[in-house]
């Protein structure tokens, strides 16, 4: 089967050919993004991605307010340090240890050392870690999980500096829309769709949802949830949607009244992930709501928490082994070939357990 070349590579190769044929020379101004978009019939985002690749290779430079120019001399390749950084929001909890273990094995087998850091999903710590990489300049590539990716991020400039240094960066689990950096993740829209469809197929019509507001995964899972309801001809009722943030997940009981009030009349609920679902099950038990007799629950991630919950949870499976291995392999490939398309979205599956009751369909 023939491999499809990413669209932006067409632009990258075109610029290189023009330089080689002397049609473009040092100091020449490149066409604008709009012009290139029209010339190559590609989106401005794709054009921007291609220009970023050329900039990383030292072939062009962008001057704010002026445009993009052919560089006077190519960038000097960085000497390898044989160090790769892995930065996640957490290290020793939930699914993170197993994902890191898979990444570390691939990195180690390739002869690299792994530096591990974690942000606790705070912008301040993300900033400190990125600044340290820039100051020390001692990593050949970075795998990083975005911090609060559903919100505007003040650290975008630090990522852009890493790009200028030709340090490959690949996101895991999510990404920042303001950057053209690659990502490896689960298709979270499909995860939300799969979760709600399982409840719909079991006969549920009033389905609540608990989603995380400060991470893009929460937005995408909500998007899939909405699609499932709309496709089934069911109304989206905003008073049955509960939005939480990182701090809320650590103290779900503080939101107990708000969550329970929004569940009124619902027979099913989609939970953002297992870390949210397990304390939610406990909350239901405290308030004499039986799972699944009174309320059916579908969670996401299919971690050990789902399997060993008091009511074993039906959960959309996060592909721990595949994501860990793929993101590490793709970064290694990116280090060797900065034109490599390192993006990958995994299609989720669902693990059926005991948390969903099948309702009798009424004619």
Of the candidates 242, 226, 305, 232, the residue with the CA atom closest to the CA atom of residue 273 = 305
Of the candidates 316, 322, 288, the residue with the CA atom closest to the CA atom of residue 303 = 316
pLDDT given at position 72: 75
pTM more than 0.85: no
CB neighbour list of residue 140: distance below 8 Å, 6 or more residues apart: 78, 80, 81, 82, 83, 84, 112, 167, 168, 335
Class of the domain covering 7-70: mainly alpha
Say how far apart CA 282 and CA 204 lie, in whole Å. Answer: 22
Radius of gyration of the chain (CA): 23
Domain ranges for the chain, please list them: 7-70, 83-186+320-346, 188-319
3-state secondary structure of 106: helix
**Contact (CB, 8 A) for 316 and 187:** no
**Contact (CB, 8 A) for 168 and 338:** yes
CB neighbour list of residue 87: distance below 8 Å, 6 or more residues apart: 116, 117, 118, 119, 126, 129, 142, 143, 144, 145
CB neighbour list of residue 8: distance below 8 Å, 6 or more residues apart: 42, 46, 47, 49, 50, 53
Superfamily of domain 83-186+320-346: Response regulator (3.40.50.2300)
CA-based max dimension of the chain? 77
pLDDT given at position 2: 44
Angle between helices 44-56 and 156-164 (to 10 degrees): 50
The CATH fold assigned to 188-319 is Rossmann fold (3.40.50)
CATH fold match for the domains 7-70 and 83-186+320-346: no
Strand partners, 70: 60
Say how far apart CA 19 and CA 313 lie, in whole Å. Answer: 58
**Contact (CB, 8 A) for 87 and 119:** yes
**Residue 136 burial (CB < 10 Å; 0-12/13-18/19+)?**
exposed
Question: What pLDDT tens digit does each residue of the chain (363 aa) get?
Answer: 344 567 888 898 899 888 888 888 888 899 988 899 888 998 988 888 888 888 877 888 888 778 899 887 655 566 789 999 999 998 877 888 999 999 999 999 999 999 999 999 999 999 999 999 999 989 999 999 999 999 999 999 999 999 888 899 999 999 999 898 999 999 999 999 999 999 999 999 999 999 999 999 999 999 999 999 999 999 999 999 999 999 998 888 899 999 999 999 999 999 999 999 999 999 999 999 999 999 999 999 999 999 999 999 999 999 999 999 999 999 999 999 888 899 999 999 999 999 999 997 654
Q: How many CB atoms lie within 10 A of CB 31?
A: 15
pLDDT given at position 318: 95
pLDDT given at position 77: 61
């Amino acid at each position: 089967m023939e491999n499809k070349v990413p669209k932006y590579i067409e632009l990258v190769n075109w610029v290189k050919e023009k330089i080689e044929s002397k049609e473009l020379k040092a100091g020449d101004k490149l066409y604008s993004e709009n012009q290139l978009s029209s010339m190559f019939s590609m989106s401005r985002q794709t054009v921007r991605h291609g220009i970023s690749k050329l900039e990383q290779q030292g072939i062009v430079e962008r001057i704010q307010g002026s445009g993009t120019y052919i560089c006077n001399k190519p960038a000097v390749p960085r000497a390898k340090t044989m160090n790769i950084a892995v930065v996640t929001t957490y290290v020793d909890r939930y699914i993170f240890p197993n994902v890191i273990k898979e990444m570390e094995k691939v990195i180690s087998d390739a002869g690299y050392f792994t530096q591990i850091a974690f942000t606790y999903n705070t912008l301040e710590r993300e900033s400190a870690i990125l600044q340290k990489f820039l100051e020390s300049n001692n990593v050949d590539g970075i795998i990083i999980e975005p911090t609060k990716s559903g919100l505007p991020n003040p650290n975008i400039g630090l990522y852009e500096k890493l790009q200028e240094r030709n340090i490959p960066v690949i996101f895991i689990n999510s990404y920042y829309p303001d950057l053209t950096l690659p990502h490896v993740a689960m298709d979270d829209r499909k995860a939300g769709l799969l979760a709600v469809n399982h409840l719909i197929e079991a006969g549920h019509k009033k389905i609540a949802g608990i989603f995380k507001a400060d991470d893009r995964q929460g937005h995408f899972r909500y998007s899939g949830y909405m699609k499932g309801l709309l496709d089934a001809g069911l109304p989206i009722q905003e008073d049955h949607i509960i939005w939480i943030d990182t701090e809320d997940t650590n103290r779900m009981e503080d939101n107990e009244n708000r969550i329970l009030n929004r569940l009124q009349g619902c027979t099913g609920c989609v939970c953002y992930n297992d870390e949210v679902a397990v304390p939610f099950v406990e909350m239901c038990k405290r308030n004499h709501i039986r799972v699944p007799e009174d309320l059916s629950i579908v969670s996401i991630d299919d971690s050990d928490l789902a399997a060993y919950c008091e009511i074993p949870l039906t959960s959309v499976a996060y592909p721990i082994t595949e994501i860990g291995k793929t993101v590490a392999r793709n970064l290694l490939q990116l280090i060797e070939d900065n034109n490599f398309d390192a993006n990958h979205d995994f299609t989720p599956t669902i693990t059926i357990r005991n948390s969903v009751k099948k309702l009798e369909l009424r004619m």
